[in-house]
Amino acid sequence: MLEANTLSVIFIALMGLAIFLYAVLDGYDLGVGALLPLSDSEKSDQMIASIGPFWDANETWLVLAVGVLLIAFPTAHSFILKELYLPVAVLLIALIMRGVAFDFRVKAAFSHRAVWNKVFKTGSILAALSQGYMLGLYVMGFEESYSAHLFALVSAFGVLAAYTYIGACWLVMKTEGELQKKATRWARKAGRFSFAGVVLVSIVNPVINPAVFERWFSLPGVMLLLPMPILCFILFLVVDRLLKRMPLENDAACWIPFLAAIMIFLLSFCGIGYSFFPDIVPGKINIFEAAASAKSLMFILWGAIIVVPCILAYTFFSYRVFWGKVRELRYY
Protein backbone atom coordinates (compact mmCIF):
# COMPACT_ATOMS: atom_id res chain seq x y z
CA MET A 1 0.00 0.00 0.00
CA LEU A 2 1.20 3.51 -0.78
CA GLU A 3 2.30 5.74 2.08
CA ALA A 4 -0.12 8.31 3.47
CA ASN A 5 2.00 11.27 2.33
CA THR A 6 2.25 9.87 -1.20
CA LEU A 7 -1.52 9.38 -1.35
CA SER A 8 -2.03 12.95 -0.12
CA VAL A 9 0.12 14.27 -2.98
CA ILE A 10 -1.73 12.09 -5.52
CA PHE A 11 -5.12 13.39 -4.41
CA ILE A 12 -4.11 17.05 -4.28
CA ALA A 13 -2.76 16.61 -7.81
CA LEU A 14 -6.09 15.05 -8.86
CA MET A 15 -8.01 17.90 -7.26
CA GLY A 16 -5.71 20.40 -8.95
CA LEU A 17 -6.32 18.76 -12.33
CA ALA A 18 -10.09 18.88 -11.79
CA ILE A 19 -10.02 22.57 -10.77
CA PHE A 20 -7.82 23.50 -13.74
CA LEU A 21 -10.02 21.66 -16.25
CA TYR A 22 -13.12 23.21 -14.71
CA ALA A 23 -11.61 26.71 -14.90
CA VAL A 24 -10.78 26.22 -18.59
CA LEU A 25 -13.83 24.30 -19.78
CA ASP A 26 -16.58 25.88 -17.72
CA GLY A 27 -14.62 29.14 -17.81
CA TYR A 28 -15.10 29.60 -21.53
CA ASP A 29 -18.82 28.80 -21.44
CA LEU A 30 -19.33 31.15 -18.47
CA GLY A 31 -17.46 33.74 -20.52
CA VAL A 32 -19.70 33.15 -23.52
CA GLY A 33 -22.74 33.55 -21.27
CA ALA A 34 -21.38 36.78 -19.78
CA LEU A 35 -20.81 38.18 -23.30
CA LEU A 36 -24.32 37.31 -24.53
CA PRO A 37 -25.68 40.33 -26.50
CA LEU A 38 -29.24 40.80 -25.22
CA SER A 39 -30.18 43.10 -28.09
CA ASP A 40 -29.25 40.65 -30.86
CA SER A 41 -31.25 37.44 -30.75
CA GLU A 42 -29.53 35.85 -33.76
CA LYS A 43 -26.01 36.27 -32.33
CA SER A 44 -27.21 35.10 -28.92
CA ASP A 45 -28.52 31.91 -30.53
CA GLN A 46 -25.18 31.33 -32.27
CA MET A 47 -23.24 31.86 -29.06
CA ILE A 48 -25.47 29.51 -27.07
CA ALA A 49 -25.19 26.92 -29.83
CA SER A 50 -21.37 27.07 -29.63
CA ILE A 51 -21.45 25.80 -26.03
CA GLY A 52 -24.61 23.70 -26.31
CA PRO A 53 -23.04 20.23 -26.51
CA PHE A 54 -20.48 20.93 -23.76
CA TRP A 55 -21.62 23.30 -21.01
CA ASP A 56 -23.31 20.85 -18.62
CA ALA A 57 -20.58 18.20 -18.93
CA ASN A 58 -17.94 20.86 -18.21
CA GLU A 59 -19.37 21.24 -14.70
CA THR A 60 -18.51 17.60 -13.99
CA TRP A 61 -15.00 18.74 -13.11
CA LEU A 62 -16.33 21.04 -10.38
CA VAL A 63 -18.26 18.14 -8.86
CA LEU A 64 -15.11 15.99 -8.98
CA ALA A 65 -12.97 18.69 -7.33
CA VAL A 66 -15.44 19.23 -4.49
CA GLY A 67 -15.86 15.48 -4.10
CA VAL A 68 -12.11 14.93 -3.77
CA LEU A 69 -11.90 17.77 -1.24
CA LEU A 70 -14.73 16.27 0.82
CA ILE A 71 -13.57 12.66 0.78
CA ALA A 72 -9.77 12.98 0.70
CA PHE A 73 -9.32 16.18 2.77
CA PRO A 74 -12.35 16.36 5.10
CA THR A 75 -10.71 18.75 7.58
CA ALA A 76 -9.93 21.26 4.84
CA HIS A 77 -13.39 20.79 3.32
CA SER A 78 -15.16 21.79 6.54
CA PHE A 79 -12.85 24.78 7.04
CA ILE A 80 -13.11 26.09 3.47
CA LEU A 81 -16.87 25.63 3.16
CA LYS A 82 -17.40 27.38 6.49
CA GLU A 83 -15.39 30.38 5.27
CA LEU A 84 -17.00 30.43 1.81
CA TYR A 85 -20.59 29.62 2.71
CA LEU A 86 -22.17 32.74 1.19
CA PRO A 87 -20.21 32.88 -2.11
CA VAL A 88 -20.75 29.12 -2.56
CA ALA A 89 -24.50 29.66 -2.11
CA VAL A 90 -24.41 32.44 -4.73
CA LEU A 91 -22.46 30.14 -7.08
CA LEU A 92 -25.02 27.35 -6.74
CA ILE A 93 -27.92 29.73 -7.37
CA ALA A 94 -26.12 31.13 -10.42
CA LEU A 95 -25.47 27.66 -11.85
CA ILE A 96 -29.12 26.73 -11.34
CA MET A 97 -30.16 29.92 -13.15
CA ARG A 98 -27.92 28.98 -16.08
CA GLY A 99 -29.24 25.44 -16.27
CA VAL A 100 -32.88 26.46 -16.20
CA ALA A 101 -32.38 29.33 -18.65
CA PHE A 102 -30.46 27.21 -21.15
CA ASP A 103 -33.32 24.75 -21.60
CA PHE A 104 -36.20 27.21 -21.27
CA ARG A 105 -34.83 29.73 -23.78
CA VAL A 106 -35.01 27.09 -26.52
CA LYS A 107 -38.35 25.54 -25.57
CA ALA A 108 -40.23 28.67 -24.48
CA ALA A 109 -42.20 30.90 -26.82
CA PHE A 110 -40.11 33.25 -28.92
CA SER A 111 -41.47 36.29 -27.04
CA HIS A 112 -40.04 34.90 -23.78
CA ARG A 113 -36.58 34.09 -25.13
CA ALA A 114 -35.18 37.52 -24.27
CA VAL A 115 -36.08 36.97 -20.60
CA TRP A 116 -34.24 33.65 -20.46
CA ASN A 117 -31.25 35.20 -22.24
CA LYS A 118 -31.08 37.75 -19.41
CA VAL A 119 -31.31 34.97 -16.82
CA PHE A 120 -28.55 33.00 -18.55
CA LYS A 121 -26.30 36.07 -18.79
CA THR A 122 -26.94 37.05 -15.16
CA GLY A 123 -26.25 33.51 -13.95
CA SER A 124 -23.00 33.39 -15.92
CA ILE A 125 -21.78 36.71 -14.52
CA LEU A 126 -22.74 35.81 -10.94
CA ALA A 127 -21.02 32.41 -11.20
CA ALA A 128 -17.79 34.01 -12.46
CA LEU A 129 -17.86 36.77 -9.83
CA SER A 130 -18.50 34.33 -6.96
CA GLN A 131 -15.63 32.08 -8.08
CA GLY A 132 -13.30 35.07 -8.30
CA TYR A 133 -14.36 36.27 -4.88
CA MET A 134 -13.64 32.84 -3.41
CA LEU A 135 -10.22 32.79 -5.09
CA GLY A 136 -9.40 36.20 -3.62
CA LEU A 137 -10.34 35.11 -0.10
CA TYR A 138 -8.30 31.92 -0.54
CA VAL A 139 -5.18 33.84 -1.64
CA MET A 140 -5.63 36.12 1.39
CA GLY A 141 -5.73 33.08 3.66
CA PHE A 142 -9.40 33.76 4.56
CA GLU A 143 -8.30 36.80 6.51
CA GLU A 144 -11.17 38.77 8.05
CA SER A 145 -10.31 42.35 7.13
CA TYR A 146 -11.52 45.10 4.83
CA SER A 147 -8.38 44.80 2.72
CA ALA A 148 -8.93 41.04 2.25
CA HIS A 149 -12.52 41.54 1.10
CA LEU A 150 -11.48 44.44 -1.13
CA PHE A 151 -8.86 42.23 -2.78
CA ALA A 152 -11.46 39.45 -3.12
CA LEU A 153 -13.79 41.92 -4.85
CA VAL A 154 -11.03 42.92 -7.29
CA SER A 155 -10.25 39.22 -7.82
CA ALA A 156 -13.94 38.61 -8.63
CA PHE A 157 -13.83 41.03 -11.53
CA GLY A 158 -10.42 39.66 -12.55
CA VAL A 159 -11.84 36.15 -12.90
CA LEU A 160 -14.84 37.53 -14.80
CA ALA A 161 -12.40 39.22 -17.20
CA ALA A 162 -10.40 36.00 -17.56
CA TYR A 163 -13.53 33.97 -18.31
CA THR A 164 -14.77 36.50 -20.86
CA TYR A 165 -11.29 36.42 -22.41
CA ILE A 166 -11.22 32.66 -22.89
CA GLY A 167 -14.93 32.73 -23.85
CA ALA A 168 -14.28 35.31 -26.57
CA CYS A 169 -11.31 33.28 -27.82
CA TRP A 170 -13.61 30.24 -27.98
CA LEU A 171 -16.04 32.24 -30.13
CA VAL A 172 -13.20 33.34 -32.43
CA MET A 173 -12.46 29.66 -32.99
CA LYS A 174 -16.05 28.41 -33.27
CA THR A 175 -17.86 31.16 -35.20
CA GLU A 176 -17.65 32.99 -38.51
CA GLY A 177 -18.63 36.31 -40.04
CA GLU A 178 -19.79 39.29 -38.02
CA LEU A 179 -19.97 37.40 -34.73
CA GLN A 180 -16.35 36.30 -35.10
CA LYS A 181 -15.30 39.92 -35.71
CA LYS A 182 -17.16 41.00 -32.58
CA ALA A 183 -15.50 38.18 -30.63
CA THR A 184 -12.04 39.39 -31.65
CA ARG A 185 -12.84 42.84 -30.25
CA TRP A 186 -14.23 41.35 -27.04
CA ALA A 187 -11.14 39.16 -26.68
CA ARG A 188 -8.73 42.08 -27.07
CA LYS A 189 -10.52 44.16 -24.43
CA ALA A 190 -10.94 41.28 -21.99
CA GLY A 191 -7.32 40.23 -22.54
CA ARG A 192 -6.05 43.58 -21.31
CA PHE A 193 -8.16 43.39 -18.15
CA SER A 194 -7.04 39.78 -17.62
CA PHE A 195 -3.39 40.79 -17.95
CA ALA A 196 -3.90 43.52 -15.35
CA GLY A 197 -5.47 40.94 -13.02
CA VAL A 198 -2.55 38.52 -13.43
CA VAL A 199 -0.10 41.33 -12.65
CA LEU A 200 -2.10 42.38 -9.58
CA VAL A 201 -2.24 38.86 -8.11
CA SER A 202 1.47 38.37 -8.87
CA ILE A 203 2.25 41.51 -6.85
CA VAL A 204 -0.20 41.06 -3.97
CA ASN A 205 0.42 37.36 -3.36
CA PRO A 206 4.11 37.60 -2.33
CA VAL A 207 3.57 40.95 -0.55
CA ILE A 208 0.94 39.62 1.86
CA ASN A 209 2.51 36.17 2.28
CA PRO A 210 6.15 36.26 3.48
CA ALA A 211 6.50 32.51 2.85
CA VAL A 212 5.37 32.99 -0.76
CA PHE A 213 7.80 35.91 -1.18
CA GLU A 214 10.69 33.77 0.03
CA ARG A 215 9.69 30.89 -2.23
CA TRP A 216 9.36 33.15 -5.29
CA PHE A 217 12.51 35.22 -4.86
CA SER A 218 15.04 32.79 -3.43
CA LEU A 219 17.16 30.32 -5.37
CA PRO A 220 16.35 27.99 -7.05
CA GLY A 221 12.67 29.03 -6.99
CA VAL A 222 13.21 32.33 -8.76
CA MET A 223 14.82 30.53 -11.71
CA LEU A 224 11.72 28.32 -12.03
CA LEU A 225 9.15 31.08 -11.61
CA LEU A 226 10.73 33.94 -13.55
CA PRO A 227 9.88 32.46 -16.99
CA MET A 228 6.17 32.14 -16.05
CA PRO A 229 5.21 35.86 -15.96
CA ILE A 230 7.46 36.53 -18.96
CA LEU A 231 5.75 33.78 -20.97
CA CYS A 232 2.31 35.04 -19.85
CA PHE A 233 3.18 38.53 -21.09
CA ILE A 234 4.40 37.15 -24.42
CA LEU A 235 1.22 35.08 -24.87
CA PHE A 236 -1.04 38.07 -24.10
CA LEU A 237 0.93 40.23 -26.53
CA VAL A 238 1.01 37.66 -29.35
CA VAL A 239 -2.72 36.96 -29.05
CA ASP A 240 -3.55 40.67 -29.01
CA ARG A 241 -1.52 41.27 -32.19
CA LEU A 242 -3.01 38.20 -33.87
CA LEU A 243 -6.59 39.18 -32.97
CA LYS A 244 -6.01 42.62 -34.47
CA ARG A 245 -5.37 40.97 -37.86
CA MET A 246 -8.27 38.51 -37.73
CA PRO A 247 -10.07 37.04 -39.53
CA LEU A 248 -7.24 35.73 -41.71
CA GLU A 249 -7.68 34.11 -45.11
CA ASN A 250 -9.48 30.75 -44.88
CA ASP A 251 -9.92 31.47 -41.15
CA ALA A 252 -6.34 30.36 -40.53
CA ALA A 253 -5.01 30.34 -36.95
CA CYS A 254 -8.47 30.90 -35.45
CA TRP A 255 -7.64 28.29 -32.81
CA ILE A 256 -4.42 29.95 -31.60
CA PRO A 257 -6.06 32.53 -29.26
CA PHE A 258 -8.01 29.81 -27.43
CA LEU A 259 -4.93 27.61 -27.07
CA ALA A 260 -2.91 30.59 -25.82
CA ALA A 261 -5.65 31.40 -23.28
CA ILE A 262 -5.45 27.82 -21.98
CA MET A 263 -1.68 28.19 -21.61
CA ILE A 264 -2.15 31.46 -19.67
CA PHE A 265 -4.63 29.71 -17.34
CA LEU A 266 -2.16 26.85 -16.88
CA LEU A 267 0.77 29.14 -16.07
CA SER A 268 -1.33 31.14 -13.61
CA PHE A 269 -2.61 27.95 -12.00
CA CYS A 270 0.92 26.53 -11.66
CA GLY A 271 2.07 29.80 -10.09
CA ILE A 272 -0.63 29.67 -7.44
CA GLY A 273 -0.03 25.97 -6.80
CA TYR A 274 3.72 26.49 -6.40
CA SER A 275 3.08 29.41 -4.04
CA PHE A 276 1.07 27.45 -1.49
CA PHE A 277 2.06 23.77 -1.78
CA PRO A 278 1.81 21.76 0.46
CA ASP A 279 -0.78 24.00 2.15
CA ILE A 280 -4.37 23.32 1.19
CA VAL A 281 -5.52 26.27 3.32
CA PRO A 282 -2.76 28.92 3.04
CA GLY A 283 -0.87 29.34 6.29
CA LYS A 284 -3.29 27.15 8.25
CA ILE A 285 -3.63 23.53 7.08
CA ASN A 286 -1.40 21.45 4.81
CA ILE A 287 -2.45 18.43 2.79
CA PHE A 288 -0.82 15.95 5.16
CA GLU A 289 -2.74 17.28 8.17
CA ALA A 290 -6.03 17.46 6.29
CA ALA A 291 -5.88 14.07 4.58
CA ALA A 292 -8.12 11.15 5.48
CA SER A 293 -6.57 7.89 6.67
CA ALA A 294 -4.26 6.01 4.33
CA LYS A 295 -6.71 3.08 4.08
CA SER A 296 -9.55 5.38 3.09
CA LEU A 297 -7.41 7.16 0.50
CA MET A 298 -6.24 3.85 -0.95
CA PHE A 299 -9.85 2.68 -1.30
CA ILE A 300 -10.87 5.94 -2.98
CA LEU A 301 -7.86 5.78 -5.29
CA TRP A 302 -9.17 2.64 -6.99
CA GLY A 303 -12.44 4.44 -7.71
CA ALA A 304 -10.55 7.43 -9.10
CA ILE A 305 -8.49 5.15 -11.36
CA ILE A 306 -11.74 3.97 -12.95
CA VAL A 307 -13.83 7.17 -12.93
CA VAL A 308 -11.31 9.84 -14.01
CA PRO A 309 -10.24 8.12 -17.27
CA CYS A 310 -13.95 7.64 -18.11
CA ILE A 311 -14.63 11.36 -17.65
CA LEU A 312 -11.56 12.26 -19.70
CA ALA A 313 -12.58 9.84 -22.45
CA TYR A 314 -16.11 11.23 -22.59
CA THR A 315 -14.81 14.81 -22.63
CA PHE A 316 -12.41 14.05 -25.48
CA PHE A 317 -15.10 12.18 -27.41
CA SER A 318 -17.70 14.96 -27.09
CA TYR A 319 -15.26 17.62 -28.27
CA ARG A 320 -14.15 15.38 -31.10
CA VAL A 321 -17.74 14.80 -32.27
CA PHE A 322 -18.82 18.44 -32.07
CA TRP A 323 -15.58 19.99 -33.31
CA GLY A 324 -15.71 22.58 -36.07
CA LYS A 325 -17.73 25.74 -36.60
CA VAL A 326 -20.97 26.27 -34.75
CA ARG A 327 -24.24 25.04 -36.15
CA GLU A 328 -27.80 25.86 -35.14
CA LEU A 329 -28.84 24.49 -31.76
CA ARG A 330 -32.10 22.50 -31.98
CA TYR A 331 -34.24 20.20 -29.87
CA TYR A 332 -36.04 17.46 -31.76
Q: Domain range for residue 296?
A: 8-315
Percent of the chain with pLDDT over 70: 96
Q: Which of 6-20, 129-143, 282-296, 314-328 has the lowest mean pLDDT?
A: 314-328
Q: Select the more confidently predicted residue: 271 or 184.
A: 184
Q: pLDDT of 292-332, one tens digit each?
A: 888 888 888 888 899 899 999 988 998 888 888 876 655 44
Q: 329 in a domain, yes or no? A: no
Q: What pLDDT was estimated at residue 96?
A: 92
Q: 187 in a domain, yes or no? A: yes
Q: Which of 29-33, 105-109, 156-160, 328-332 has the lowest mean pLDDT?
A: 328-332
| Whole-angstrom distance, CA of residue 94 vs CA of residue 82 | 19
Q: 159 in a domain, yes or no? A: yes
Q: Select the more confidently predicted residue: 128 or 215.
A: 128
Q: Select the more confidently predicted residue: 148 or 223.
A: 148
Task: Give 224's pLDDT tier (boundaries 50, 70, 90).
Answer: confident
Q: Select the more confidently predicted residue: 103 or 162.
A: 162
Q: 98 in a domain, yes or no? A: yes
CATH number for position 137: 1.20.1630
Looking at the structure of the chain, the number of domains it has is: 1
Q: 330 in a domain, yes or no? A: no
Contacts of 323 (CB under 8 A, 6+ apart): none
Q: 92 in a domain, yes or no? A: yes
**DSSP readout, 285-326?**
EEHHHH---HHHHHHHHHHHHHHHHHHHHHHHHHHHHT-SS-
The residue-averaged pLDDT of 134-158 equals: 88
Q: Which of 117-126, 187-196, 223-232, 311-320 has the lowest mean pLDDT?
A: 223-232
- Assessment of whether the complete model's pTM goes beyond 0.85: yes
Mean pLDDT of the chain: 87
The residue-averaged pLDDT of 20-41 equals: 90
Assess whether pLDDT exceeds 60 at residue 46: yes
Q: What pLDDT was estimated at residue 329?
A: 56
Q: pLDDT of 169-196, one tens digit each?
A: 999 999 888 889 999 999 999 999 999 8
Q: Residues 19, 280: contact at Cβ < 8 Å?
A: no
Task: Give 11's pLDDT tier (boundaries 50, 70, 90).
Answer: very high
Q: What pLDDT was estimated at residue 111?
A: 62
Q: Select the more confidently predicted residue: 156 or 328.
A: 156
Percent of the chain with pLDDT over 90: 38
Assess whether pLDDT exceeds 80 at residue 209: no
Q: What pLDDT was estimated at residue 332?
A: 45
| Whole-angstrom distance, CA of residue 317 vs CA of residue 283 | 40
Q: Which residues pair with 285 in a beta bridge?
A: 281
Q: Look at the alpha carbons of 279, 284, 285, 289 in this order and tell me if their dihedral is positive or negative.
A: positive
Q: What pLDDT was estimated at residue 248?
A: 79
| Whole-angstrom distance, CA of residue 80 vs CA of residue 158 | 21
User: In the chain, what is the straight-line distance between the N-terminal and C-terminal CA atoms, in Å?
Assistant: 51
Q: What pLDDT was estimated at residue 331?
A: 47
The residue-averaged pLDDT of 202-206 equals: 78
Q: 255 in a domain, yes or no? A: yes
Task: Give 109's pLDDT tier (boundaries 50, 70, 90).
Answer: low
Q: 323 in a domain, yes or no? A: no
